[in-house]
Amino acid sequence: MTLLAKAVRFDSIALVEGTAELKECEIKNLAVGPSRVKATLHVAEKTRIAVSMGSAEVNVLTLEGDMDVSTVMGSLVLRLPEDCDATIEVAGEGGEVVLNSGRLLGSGEHRIQITNVRGAVIVDL
């Protein structure tokens, strides 16, 4: 299955065994199974991204809400806007989280919670 979308607002997407390319979209809940996702997103409210045995590359264009991000035996590259205001919190076991951005960005207004279990997460600006 392949999902292509541009400038669409989703409440929820669950992708299993497929690929998705989301451009300039908003989404509340994104669940990625053994699949691959490439997305550019506007985060206007609390957003959840869960990757399990898949891979995701997410570029956040605007950050105006909190994010809960989790990986279980998956990989995620999360790129944040340079001018965002966020505090990054990390938890997990047996995985790797690389913060190329630092933990406090701007005023720290929005919370980004990253949970990683035996996966890999990279956070960039």
Q: Which residues pair with 4 in a beta bridge?
A: 21
Whether the pLDDT of residue 115 is over 90: the answer is yes
Residues 6-54 have pLDDT tens digits of 999 999 999 999 999 999 999 999 999 999 999 999 999 999 999 999 9
Q: Which domain holds residue 17?
A: 2-124
Instruction: State the pLDDT at residue 94.
Output: 82
Alpha-carbon span 125 to 111, nearest angstrom: 16
Place of tokens 């965002």: 84
Residues 60-101 have pLDDT tens digits of 999 999 999 999 999 999 999 999 999 999 998 888 999 998
User: How many structural domains is the chain composed of?
Assistant: 1
